[in-house]
Structure 1
Amino acid sequence: MIKIDFSRDDQGNIVEFSVEGHADAAPHGEDIVCASISILSQTTILALHELLSIDLEYAMEDGYLSCKLPDLSEEVREKANLILNTMLIGIKGTQGMYNEFIDLNDKEV
């Protein structure tokens, strides 16, 4: 199962997220659930870094990805929220089709 955790600040902004585990929905290399979540989470990190020039704290290994955002200006935070919420929409859509393989937790810090 893939465990996904989002942490938010007191204003509801996503300040960090982590993705851990494997869906095991299909053999390695054929698992569309793992591939979907990997693409969503890695593209989010790339977009935050390359489009918004945010210096992220992140870690990535087999079956694990985490990302923590630094304090941001209001303008950059607004743009970051669009990217992060788009990721969350994609994850919820994937979870809707493959609920038995994804454990999603979205909580305030």
Structure 2
Amino acid sequence: MIDVKIFQTPSGEYTGFQMSGHAGYAEYGQDIVCAAVSALVINAINSIDQYTEDAFENSVDPDSGSVFFQITDRPVSTSSQLLLKSLVLGLNGIQDEYGKKHIKIRLEKQEG
């Protein structure tokens, strides 16, 4: 199962996420859930890097499926907020379609 923690300030501002695991929907190389989640996550990180000036920390371990991404600027720009909201929307859509057996999303409140 892919476990996704979405980081959020007490006021509801998204600040990043942490993801680990594999969906287990199909064999390696054929898993459409892993592919969809990977595409959304990579696109969100690349878009924030390309289209905003927000500073961030990130790390990726392809072997474990682990990704950490945290915007370090406060407040988070409107553009990054929109991109992170879009990521969460897409991840929730995948969870709704394929179930919590393959992807589990939870919010984690953090200090602003």
TM-score surpassing 0.5?
yes
Aligned residue for 2:79?
79
Identity of aligned residues (%): 26
Larger CA deviation: 63-72 vs 41-50 = 63-72
Alpha-carbon separation, structure 2, partners of 1:68 and 1:92:
19
Aligned residue for 2:67?
65
Name stretches of at least 5 consecutive residues in structure 2 with no aligned partner.
none
Cα distance, 1:53 vs. partner?
A: 3.0
CA RMSD of aligned residues (A): 1.2
8 Å CA contact 2:55, 2:73 repeated in 1: no
Structure 1 length as normaliser, TM-score?
Answer: 0.91
Name stretches of at least 5 consecutive residues in structure 1 with no aligned partner.
none
Total equivalences in the alignment = 107
Cα distance, 1:24 vs. partner?
A: 1.2
Q: 1:39-58: CA deviations, max 9, x gaps?
A: 11111000000111333200
8 Å CA contact 2:6, 2:108 repeated in 1: yes
**Secondary structure class of the residue paired with 1:7:** strand
Q: 1:37-89: CA deviations, max 9, x gaps?
A: 1111111000000111333200011211110101245xx62111110000000
Runs of 4 or more above 3 Å deviation:
none
